[in-house]
Each structure stands twice: as C-alpha cells, then as structure tokens.
Amino acid sequence: MARQRTERVLGPYYDPKRTKPYRVIVVGVDDAEPGAPRRGARRKRSAPVRSVVAFATEAEARSFIRGARDEAQGRTVNDAVTEYMKHKRSLIGEKSATTLEYRLRGLLRLDERDGLLRTMTAAQAADLYTRRVAETKADTHRSELNAAKSFVAWCIKQKWIRANPFAEVEPVGKRSAGKPQLRVNEARKFVDTALGEGSNAGLAAACAVLMGLGPSEVTDRVVRDVDDDARLWWIDFGKTKNRRRHIIIPEALRPRLRQLVKGRAGDAPLWGDVDRHWLGYHVPRLCKLAGVQRVTPHGLRGLHSTLSVKAGIEVEHVARQLGHGGPTVTRRHYIAPGVEAEAGHERALTVIEGGRS
C-alpha cells in the first residue's frame, strides 16, 4: 500500500529581527486524492504549498507544531470519542450520554490503551469484543457493540476513517427478557404496604407501580409536575422525545400527592434531595416489609405493563404509556411471557360466553 502523503511542519526557526521571532513553515501537498491513479508515469506533480506562521515565543511555536503533526497523523480513538460525545450531548440527555460514553470506553478499553483511529482493523475490533464477552453479561456487551458501530459510522461521515472495523462483528448471547415481576396478589400487598407506611419513599414506590414509571421519572420530578389538583403527572424531559408525556394519576395517589405539594414552590424537588438510587434502595426494602419477592423499580414498571395487557389494554397503548417509541421494547423487556396471548384468549372467551342465552 502506498504511503499516504500529508503536510509537513518544519521549525521552529528563530529570526531576532522580527517582532514574532519564531517561525513555523507548513509544507502542503497537492490536491490528488491519496491512492488515485495518475495519468501517465511522468505526470508532473504540482508544487508544494508553503505557508509561514509566526509566534512570539518558542513554546507557542512548538505547541502549534505538535498539534499540526497530530492532525496530520490522524485522530486517536480517545480524541474521536471525545468529539463524538460532544455531538451526542447536543442530542440526548446527560444521563444517556454518560451511559453511552461508559459503553464506548468499556469496549474500546481506553483506560488501557489508545491509538490512531484510522489504523484500527477488523481483527482488533473482533478481539476487543471477544474480551468484553468474557467479562460482561450479554445485555452489556451487546449494547457496547451497538454503540461502537454507531460511533465509527459517525467517524466515517467525518472522514476520519474509511471503513467500520466493527461492521462484521456479530453479537453473541441473548439479552435478558426483563426483570423479575411480582404476581397479582403480591402486587396488592406491595402497594398496601407502600402506602400504609405513610412515608414519601412508600408513596414514590406506589407511583412507580401504579403509573408504570421508570426510577428517574419518579425521582426527578418537581412540585409543578404534579398538576391539575394532583390529576396529571408531567414528564417534560427524558432520553427520547417519546418519554416526554403526561400521565393520569390514579385516584388512590391523589390525596397524598396533594398534601405533598401543598404550599410549596413550583420548582422545588418533589421528594427533596434524592436520585433514582433512592428508589432503588426503598423498593427492595418495601418488598421485604410486605413479605413478597424482591424486585427492582424496573420490575415494578414491568408489572404495570403486564397487568395492563392482562386487563385488555393493547400493547401499543401500553408502550405509549411507558414512553416507548413502539411496542417492540415493551414486549421484549416489560411484559411477562405469554400474557399477551392469554389476554387475547380471555377476550375471545368473553365474546363466546357473552353470546350464550
């Protein structure tokens, strides 16, 4: 393979007669695309383009030279990830961006090594993924692989690399099909225990299960998000535009929520100084107190989805309630296996039995 021609940076040269005595000479290359066929063996090469940049100090000149040479060699993987994350943070929420960056840095192992992005090969990409398969669960390494493929595809658009080394890497293993969920009787005991405790944590947990909310959709609320005399629950930001929505608050929650927001400033945090981990602690605690299987806040969200479908609500409507873009994720991760078919069977029986005299 022919060596790629890049600009050269020469200097610094010192000339005491000048106001800015340190000069750097940048020697460019002709406009021919690297690797393009030349018309005839004796094609005359265009003259190199020269420019001179002057600096007041030697340190400034050498800093310019280092930057120019790094640019000529190409971006490192770490530099490319940094630029990519600047781009993504302008499009997605900070929490989602942080998760994405962890995925990229985990798979690319940027804490251990760095190198030029343009020199990454398919063999190196396959090796990186194989190592993550041995270290993490399928949900983690498959998500990391998807993130890496999208990252390099973006880099290709920036013309930093020509081909995607992760393009032929196939994901392995199966993603988990959702979190453990409570049974119907257990759910009733959980809600009774959560509301009966009389605490903000218990009320927050009841909100999660009765409205199908994710942890941050509970904990990130401010007082004004409980609207219309505690009839509406507003979510005005999230990972995607589908997560921005409002939900009807169940009657059982309204008296307690009215009391919680009464007389408080609209921008005050609804639950005080808490985050999603606060709910992650209290949900298992309440499970133990209620004497039911231990579940997570996402398990409560799944329970809401399962019971909604079981009650005859279409999956598409449940997906909108959860803030999903479509029913695929809802089916895969939130609805217990077999429930959708069971609900359809029960509706058929209702029609048949309703036709009897």
What number of other Cβ atoms are within 10 A of residue 353's Cβ? 8
As a whole number, the mean pLDDT across the chain is 83
Q: Which helix (H) or strand (E) holds 246?
A: strand 245-248
- Residues 225, 229, 230, 234, CA torsion sign: negative
Q: Which residues contact 156 (CB under 8 A, 6 or more apart)?
A: 162, 163, 164
pLDDT tens-place string over residues 160-176: 898 999 999 999 998 76
Higher pLDDT, 308 or 136: 136
- Residues 163, 166, 167, 168, CA torsion sign: positive
Higher pLDDT, 324 or 244: 244
- The predicted structure's pLDDT at residue 32: 39
Q: Is 292 left (phi over 0), alpha (psi -120 to 50) or beta?
A: beta
- The predicted structure's pLDDT at residue 41: 44
The one-letter code for the residue type at 180 is: P
* Highest-pLDDT range among 18-27, 229-238, 245-254, 256-265: 256-265
Torsion of CA 260, 264, 267, 270, to 10 degrees: -20
The answer to whether residues 324 and 217 touch, using CB atoms and an 8 Å cutoff, is no
- The predicted structure's pLDDT at residue 130: 96
- What does DSSP assign to residue 31? S
pLDDT > 60? residue 233: yes
User: What's the rounded mean pLDDT across residues 233-262?
Assistant: 86
- The predicted structure's pLDDT at residue 92: 82
The least confident of 5-14, 54-63, 107-116, 148-157 is 5-14
Higher pLDDT, 336 or 321: 321
- Residues 292, 294, 300, 304, CA torsion sign: negative
- The predicted structure's pLDDT at residue 344: 61
- The predicted structure's pLDDT at residue 148: 96
Higher pLDDT, 353 or 194: 194
pLDDT > 80? residue 142: yes
Higher pLDDT, 275 or 8: 275
The answer to whether residues 27 and 50 touch, using CB atoms and an 8 Å cutoff, is yes
- The predicted structure's pLDDT at residue 250: 92
> CA–CA separation, 33 vs 29, rounded Å?
10
- The predicted structure's pLDDT at residue 270: 97
**pLDDT band for position 81 (50/70/90)?**
very high
> CA–CA separation, 204 vs 208, rounded Å?
6
- The predicted structure's pLDDT at residue 184: 85
pLDDT tens-place string over residues 17-63: 999 999 998 876 443 333 444 444 444 444 555 788 899 999 999 98
Helices (H), the chain: 58-73, 77-89, 94-108, 122-135, 138-157, 184-196, 200-211, 215-219, 254-261, 276-290, 297-310, 315-322, 327-333, 339-354
**pLDDT band for position 72 (50/70/90)?**
low
- The predicted structure's pLDDT at residue 239: 58
pLDDT > 90? residue 266: yes
- The predicted structure's pLDDT at residue 179: 72
- The predicted structure's pLDDT at residue 206: 95
The answer to whether residues 187 and 303 touch, using CB atoms and an 8 Å cutoff, is yes
The answer to whether residues 175 and 138 touch, using CB atoms and an 8 Å cutoff, is yes
**pLDDT band for position 189 (50/70/90)?**
very high
Q: pTM above the 0.85 mark?
A: no
Please, which residues bridge with residue 14 across strands?
A: 22
Q: Which residues contact 215 (CB under 8 A, 6 or more apart)?
A: 208, 276, 277, 279, 280, 297, 298
